[in-house]
Amino acid sequence: MRFPIGFTLTQTRHRARMAKANRKRYPTVLMLEPLYTCNLACLGCSVERHTGKLKDRMTLSTCLKAVDDCEAPIVNICGGEPTLYPELKELVAGLIDRDKYIILCTNALLLDSKLYGVISPSSHLFLMIHLDGTRETHDFVCNRQGVFDKAIEMIHKGKELGYHIYLNTTVYKETKVEEVKALCQLVDELKANGILVAPGYEYESVESDLFLTKEQIHEKFQAIREFSNQYKLNATPMFMEFAAGLRELPCSPWSTVNYTPKGWKAPCYLIEGEGYFENWKDFWHQTDWAYWESRQDHRCQNCKMHSGFEHSAVEESMKTIKDQLQLAAWLLGK
């Protein structure tokens, strides 16, 4: 199976509950950013996400209130670097008590001191380790030598200890398709659980010329699709078709909501400058979702982010028997 059965069933039940309640829009993933402190300053990361002070982090109770308010079954803990969050152990425990699935997005540098031996492996905890290329590219994007080798060491160790480990690869201009294939092979060699390969987003606050235009994304993903079904990729085949320019989709920014030290961020975690809401209800009811779904904003033009479009890809695949069968085969495969 592509994912642990409980993870897939939780999403299926959530989708069925929302359909029964006649909810067209609803969150499935909360991107929780408890802190904007990081031990790296990667070239593709927005400046505010790695320059925050630890003292400005969210309290544990604020994190858990956001989780309860939005009711998403999956909580993606990111940041900043979440292993630097002093209350991480209590946060993970609070989420598991609530029967949430946790995806902990990390650069892996501090896993041995902050997580292994501190937070036990769980069927509800997935470590998502960023690896944006093979050694040379990843260390270039991370702006530091040795980050790739440390991440590999941590994946080895984490698998020995029994953690679920996935890789997350953002495709930039510098990323070669052969490198993506090498990372997919590495997932098999390391016996990791899977890999998410998705295009990067062109943040206005990032000056580097790292990002791809829509046409460049299509070209890279057409090549990646050719080998993608041989490996444990996390993105659905429908999303991969969209990334390759073979299928059009509306955006579903409400499917992956973002809570930050400044509040609920509208409309999605990528766009700067549209504002933050203190209160969940104001965020949910005052954001003009129809506008953002239409992708007419200039900041949406080159966006093919997994967080915005995977929900749409799954929704779209429910419309034909052929797509439903393809999705089922993909879920049962690898």
d(CA 263, CA 265): 6
Position 217 contacts ligand SF4 (CB under 6 A): no
Position 212 contacts ligand SF4 (CB under 6 A): no
Q: Which of 251, 313, 314, 327 binds ligand SF4 (CB under 6 A)?
A: 251
Beta strands in the chain (DSSP E): 29-32, 74-77, 101-106, 125-130, 164-171, 194-199, 256-260, 263-265, 276-277
Considering the complex, state which of residue 209 and residue 288 has its C-beta at the smaller distance from ligand SF4. Answer: 288
Considering the complex, state which of residue 4 and residue 245 has its C-beta at the smaller distance from ligand SF4. Answer: 245
Of 311-330, binders to ligand SF4 (CB under 6 A) are none
Position 305 contacts ligand SF4 (CB under 6 A): yes
- Least distance between ligand SF4 and beta carbon 274 (Å): 9
Considering the complex, state which of residue 175 and residue 255 has its C-beta at the smaller distance from ligand SF4. Answer: 255
Q: b/e per residue, 59-87, with b = 16+ CB within 10 A?
A: ebeebbebbebbbbbbbbbbbbbbbbbeb
Stretch that binds ligand SF4, among 29-37, 94-102, 181-189, 267-275 (CB under 6 A): 267-275
Stretch that binds ligand SF4, among 21-29, 95-103, 185-193, 291-299 (CB under 6 A): 291-299
Q: How is 169-181 classified by DSSP, letter by letter?
A: EEE-TT--HHHHH
Considering the complex, state which of residue 108 and residue 271 has its C-beta at the smaller distance from ligand SF4. Answer: 271
Q: Which of 102, 131, 167, 268 binds ligand SF4 (CB under 6 A)?
A: 268
Considering the complex, state which of residue 221 and residue 231 has its C-beta at the smaller distance from ligand SF4. Answer: 221
- Least distance between ligand SF4 and beta carbon 252 (Å): 8
CB-CB contact of 243 with 307 (8 Å): no
Q: Which of 42, 119, 233, 271 binds ligand SF4 (CB under 6 A)?
A: 271
CB-CB contact of 210 with 225 (8 Å): no
**Paired tokens of 96:** 């598991």
Position 303 contacts ligand SF4 (CB under 6 A): yes
d(CA 177, CA 161): 31
Considering the complex, state which of residue 103 and residue 270 has its C-beta at the smaller distance from ligand SF4. Answer: 270
- Strand arrangement of the beta sheet that strand 276-277 belongs to: 194-199, 164-171, 125-130, 101-106, 74-77, 29-32, 256-260, 263-265, 276-277
d(CA 179, CA 148): 13
Position 292 contacts ligand SF4 (CB under 6 A): yes
One-letter identity of residue 193:
N
- Count the helices and strands in the chain (H runs, E runs): 13, 9
Stretch that binds ligand SF4, among 10-18, 119-127, 213-221, 262-270 (CB under 6 A): 262-270
Q: In the beta sheet, which residues pair with residue 171?
A: 199
Position 31 contacts ligand SF4 (CB under 6 A): no
d(CA 112, CA 157): 8
Considering the complex, state which of residue 72 and residue 251 has its C-beta at the smaller distance from ligand SF4. Answer: 251
- Least distance between ligand SF4 and beta carbon 304 (Å): 8
Position 300 contacts ligand SF4 (CB under 6 A): yes
- Least distance between ligand SF4 and beta carbon 305 (Å): 5
Chain residues in the site for ligand SF4 (CB under 6 A):
251, 253, 267-268, 270-271, 292, 295, 299-300, 303, 305, 308
